[in-house]
Amino acid sequence: MQKGLFSSLPSISNWPDRTDLSAASHWALRAGLGEGGDFIALLRAADETLLWCDGSGIGPNDIGTGTPPGLGAAFAAALADLPQSRCLIFARPSNGRALAALSESMLPPICPDSALFHHAHMVDPDFGGRPPEEEGPRLAALLSAPGTRAAVIGNQGVLTLAPGLATALSFLHRFERATETYLRALATGHALRILPDELAAAQPAPDHEAFFAAIKALNSD
Protein backbone atom coordinates (compact mmCIF):
# COMPACT_ATOMS: atom_id res chain seq x y z
CA MET A 1 0.00 0.00 0.00
CA GLN A 2 1.35 3.39 -0.95
CA LYS A 3 2.24 5.60 1.99
CA GLY A 4 0.45 8.89 2.37
CA LEU A 5 2.18 12.18 1.78
CA PHE A 6 2.68 12.89 5.50
CA SER A 7 3.15 9.34 6.78
CA SER A 8 6.88 9.79 7.40
CA LEU A 9 6.58 13.04 9.34
CA PRO A 10 6.91 13.15 13.16
CA SER A 11 3.74 13.11 15.21
CA ILE A 12 2.09 16.51 15.02
CA SER A 13 1.22 16.19 18.71
CA ASN A 14 4.87 16.69 19.68
CA TRP A 15 5.88 19.06 16.89
CA PRO A 16 6.07 22.14 19.19
CA ASP A 17 8.40 20.20 21.49
CA ARG A 18 10.53 19.22 18.51
CA THR A 19 10.85 22.81 17.34
CA ASP A 20 11.82 23.89 20.85
CA LEU A 21 14.49 21.18 21.06
CA SER A 22 15.78 22.25 17.65
CA ALA A 23 16.17 25.81 18.97
CA ALA A 24 18.06 24.43 21.98
CA SER A 25 20.31 22.41 19.68
CA HIS A 26 21.16 25.52 17.64
CA TRP A 27 21.84 27.48 20.86
CA ALA A 28 24.23 24.75 22.01
CA LEU A 29 26.05 24.81 18.67
CA ARG A 30 26.51 28.58 18.91
CA ALA A 31 27.74 28.12 22.50
CA GLY A 32 30.52 25.80 21.34
CA LEU A 33 28.82 22.59 22.50
CA GLY A 34 28.60 20.90 19.13
CA GLU A 35 31.15 18.14 19.76
CA GLY A 36 29.78 14.67 20.49
CA GLY A 37 28.89 14.31 24.16
CA ASP A 38 29.10 18.04 24.91
CA PHE A 39 25.34 18.59 25.03
CA ILE A 40 22.21 16.52 25.30
CA ALA A 41 18.71 17.73 26.12
CA LEU A 42 15.99 15.21 26.96
CA LEU A 43 12.33 16.18 27.08
CA ARG A 44 9.19 14.21 27.89
CA ALA A 45 6.87 15.62 25.28
CA ALA A 46 3.20 16.44 25.77
CA ASP A 47 2.32 13.04 24.30
CA GLU A 48 4.81 11.36 26.74
CA THR A 49 7.28 10.52 23.96
CA LEU A 50 10.90 10.91 25.09
CA LEU A 51 12.57 13.35 22.70
CA TRP A 52 16.20 14.39 22.69
CA CYS A 53 18.76 16.42 20.78
CA ASP A 54 22.49 16.99 20.78
CA GLY A 55 24.33 20.25 20.14
CA SER A 56 24.80 19.86 16.40
CA GLY A 57 22.10 22.36 15.39
CA ILE A 58 19.61 19.79 14.10
CA GLY A 59 16.14 20.60 12.78
CA PRO A 60 12.78 19.42 14.15
CA ASN A 61 12.64 16.46 11.77
CA ASP A 62 15.95 15.13 13.12
CA ILE A 63 15.09 15.20 16.83
CA GLY A 64 15.79 11.81 18.41
CA THR A 65 13.10 9.66 20.02
CA GLY A 66 13.39 7.01 22.71
CA THR A 67 16.59 6.22 24.59
CA PRO A 68 19.65 8.14 23.36
CA PRO A 69 23.05 6.45 23.01
CA GLY A 70 26.05 6.67 25.34
CA LEU A 71 25.70 8.64 28.56
CA GLY A 72 22.30 9.78 27.35
CA ALA A 73 20.89 6.37 28.26
CA ALA A 74 21.73 6.94 31.94
CA PHE A 75 20.19 10.42 31.85
CA ALA A 76 17.05 9.03 30.22
CA ALA A 77 16.77 6.42 32.98
CA ALA A 78 17.16 9.15 35.59
CA LEU A 79 14.50 11.35 33.98
CA ALA A 80 12.08 8.41 33.96
CA ASP A 81 12.33 8.35 37.78
CA LEU A 82 11.79 12.11 38.17
CA PRO A 83 8.08 12.68 37.50
CA GLN A 84 8.19 16.37 38.49
CA SER A 85 10.85 17.12 35.87
CA ARG A 86 9.98 16.83 32.20
CA CYS A 87 13.35 18.12 30.97
CA LEU A 88 16.95 17.22 31.77
CA ILE A 89 19.98 18.77 30.10
CA PHE A 90 23.60 17.67 30.41
CA ALA A 91 26.42 19.80 29.01
CA ARG A 92 30.18 20.22 29.14
CA PRO A 93 30.71 24.00 28.89
CA SER A 94 34.24 25.20 29.57
CA ASN A 95 33.63 26.71 33.01
CA GLY A 96 31.35 23.88 34.08
CA ARG A 97 34.07 21.36 33.18
CA ALA A 98 36.59 23.34 35.22
CA LEU A 99 34.24 23.41 38.22
CA ALA A 100 33.73 19.65 37.92
CA ALA A 101 37.51 19.17 38.07
CA LEU A 102 37.82 20.86 41.46
CA SER A 103 37.87 18.81 44.64
CA GLU A 104 35.28 21.28 46.00
CA SER A 105 32.71 21.71 43.25
CA MET A 106 29.85 23.40 45.10
CA LEU A 107 29.00 26.85 43.79
CA PRO A 108 28.78 29.50 46.56
CA PRO A 109 26.28 32.40 46.32
CA ILE A 110 28.52 35.31 45.28
CA CYS A 111 26.38 36.89 42.53
CA PRO A 112 22.74 36.87 41.34
CA ASP A 113 23.38 33.95 39.00
CA SER A 114 24.97 31.74 41.65
CA ALA A 115 22.31 32.77 44.19
CA LEU A 116 19.77 31.07 41.92
CA PHE A 117 21.41 27.74 42.82
CA HIS A 118 22.01 28.35 46.52
CA HIS A 119 20.68 25.26 48.34
CA ALA A 120 19.39 24.16 44.92
CA HIS A 121 22.29 22.22 43.42
CA MET A 122 24.39 19.22 44.33
CA VAL A 123 27.55 17.37 43.32
CA ASP A 124 27.65 13.76 42.14
CA PRO A 125 31.35 12.82 42.36
CA ASP A 126 30.72 9.15 41.57
CA PHE A 127 28.99 9.37 38.19
CA GLY A 128 30.17 6.95 35.52
CA GLY A 129 31.20 3.34 35.10
CA ARG A 130 27.82 1.75 35.76
CA PRO A 131 25.24 0.45 33.27
CA PRO A 132 22.37 2.87 32.58
CA GLU A 133 19.86 0.72 34.45
CA GLU A 134 21.94 1.25 37.62
CA GLU A 135 23.29 4.73 36.99
CA GLY A 136 19.92 6.26 36.13
CA PRO A 137 18.02 5.37 39.34
CA ARG A 138 21.07 6.21 41.48
CA LEU A 139 21.33 9.65 39.87
CA ALA A 140 17.56 10.19 40.10
CA ALA A 141 17.67 9.53 43.85
CA LEU A 142 20.27 12.28 44.24
CA LEU A 143 18.35 14.71 42.04
CA SER A 144 14.99 14.07 43.72
CA ALA A 145 15.73 16.42 46.64
CA PRO A 146 13.07 19.18 46.55
CA GLY A 147 14.14 22.29 44.69
CA THR A 148 17.14 20.76 42.90
CA ARG A 149 17.93 22.79 39.79
CA ALA A 150 21.42 21.68 38.83
CA ALA A 151 24.17 19.19 39.56
CA VAL A 152 27.87 18.96 38.91
CA ILE A 153 28.29 15.52 37.37
CA GLY A 154 31.50 13.65 38.21
CA ASN A 155 34.45 15.13 36.39
CA GLN A 156 32.22 15.53 33.36
CA GLY A 157 30.15 18.70 33.39
CA VAL A 158 26.82 20.13 34.48
CA LEU A 159 23.25 18.85 34.55
CA THR A 160 20.10 20.95 34.91
CA LEU A 161 16.50 19.82 35.28
CA ALA A 162 13.12 21.52 35.32
CA PRO A 163 9.45 21.04 34.43
CA GLY A 164 10.13 22.51 30.98
CA LEU A 165 12.85 23.06 28.40
CA ALA A 166 12.93 26.86 28.66
CA THR A 167 13.69 26.72 32.39
CA ALA A 168 16.26 23.92 32.16
CA LEU A 169 18.14 25.72 29.38
CA SER A 170 18.00 29.02 31.27
CA PHE A 171 19.39 27.24 34.34
CA LEU A 172 22.28 25.89 32.25
CA HIS A 173 23.05 29.34 30.85
CA ARG A 174 23.01 30.96 34.29
CA PHE A 175 24.97 28.16 35.97
CA GLU A 176 27.73 28.56 33.40
CA ARG A 177 27.79 32.35 33.92
CA ALA A 178 27.87 31.88 37.69
CA THR A 179 30.72 29.39 37.36
CA GLU A 180 32.72 31.82 35.23
CA THR A 181 32.30 34.53 37.88
CA TYR A 182 33.31 32.09 40.63
CA LEU A 183 36.44 30.85 38.85
CA ARG A 184 37.54 34.39 37.99
CA ALA A 185 37.03 35.46 41.59
CA LEU A 186 39.05 32.48 42.84
CA ALA A 187 41.85 33.34 40.41
CA THR A 188 42.40 36.70 42.11
CA GLY A 189 43.51 34.95 45.29
CA HIS A 190 41.29 37.20 47.41
CA ALA A 191 38.63 35.97 49.83
CA LEU A 192 35.14 35.55 48.39
CA ARG A 193 32.29 37.78 49.54
CA ILE A 194 29.52 35.24 50.21
CA LEU A 195 25.92 36.46 50.16
CA PRO A 196 23.98 35.71 53.36
CA ASP A 197 21.11 33.27 52.91
CA GLU A 198 18.48 36.01 53.14
CA LEU A 199 20.16 38.12 50.45
CA ALA A 200 20.76 35.12 48.22
CA ALA A 201 17.06 34.22 48.47
CA ALA A 202 16.05 37.83 47.71
CA GLN A 203 17.81 37.97 44.34
CA PRO A 204 15.33 38.56 41.48
CA ALA A 205 14.14 35.47 39.63
CA PRO A 206 15.14 35.31 35.96
CA ASP A 207 12.53 35.29 33.20
CA HIS A 208 13.17 31.85 31.72
CA GLU A 209 10.50 32.17 29.05
CA ALA A 210 11.86 35.50 27.80
CA PHE A 211 15.34 33.97 27.61
CA PHE A 212 14.07 31.06 25.52
CA ALA A 213 11.90 33.31 23.35
CA ALA A 214 15.04 35.27 22.43
CA ILE A 215 16.79 32.01 21.52
CA LYS A 216 13.91 30.95 19.29
CA ALA A 217 13.79 34.38 17.65
CA LEU A 218 17.50 34.17 16.89
CA ASN A 219 17.00 30.67 15.51
CA SER A 220 14.31 31.88 13.12
CA ASP A 221 16.46 34.67 11.64
Strands (E), the chain: 39-44, 50-54, 64-65, 87-91, 121-124, 150-153, 157-162
- Cβ–Cβ < 8 Å for 206, 170: yes
What CA–CA distances, in Å, run from 60 to 19, 22, 47? 5, 5, 16
Residue 221: per-residue pLDDT: 62
The pLDDT score that the predictor gives to residue 141 is 96
Distance, in Å, from the CA atom of 110 to the CA atom of 107, rounded to the nearest integer, reads 9
Q: What is the dihedral of CA 101, 24, 149, 122, to 10 degrees?
A: -10
Which are the contacts of 165, defined by CB distance < 8 A and separation ≥ 6? 17, 20, 21, 24, 41, 43, 87, 212
Angle between helix axes 208-220 and 15-30 (nearest 10 degrees) is 80
Count of CB atoms situated within 10 Å of the CB of 35: 12
3-class SS at 158? strand
For the chain, how many residues are written?
221
Report the C-alpha gap between 155 and 102 in whole angstroms.
Answer: 8
CB atoms under 10 Å from CB of 49, counted, come to 17
What is the chain's pLDDT, residue by residue, as a tens digit (221 residues)? 333 444 445 557 789 999 999 999 999 999 999 999 999 999 999 889 999 999 999 999 999 999 999 999 999 999 999 999 999 999 999 999 999 999 999 999 999 999 999 999 999 999 988 999 999 999 999 999 999 999 999 999 999 999 999 999 999 999 999 999 999 999 999 999 999 999 999 999 899 999 999 999 987 76
Domains of the chain: 12-220 (3.40.225.10)
Which element (helix H / strand E) includes 186? helix 165-187
What is the three-class DSSP state of 138? helix
| pLDDT on residue 218 | 86
- DSSP for 27-61? HHHHTT--STTSEEEEEE-TTS-EEEEESS---GG
- pLDDT on residue 49: 93
**Which pLDDT does position 3 carry in this prediction?**
39
DSSP 57-73: ---GGG-EESSPSTTHH
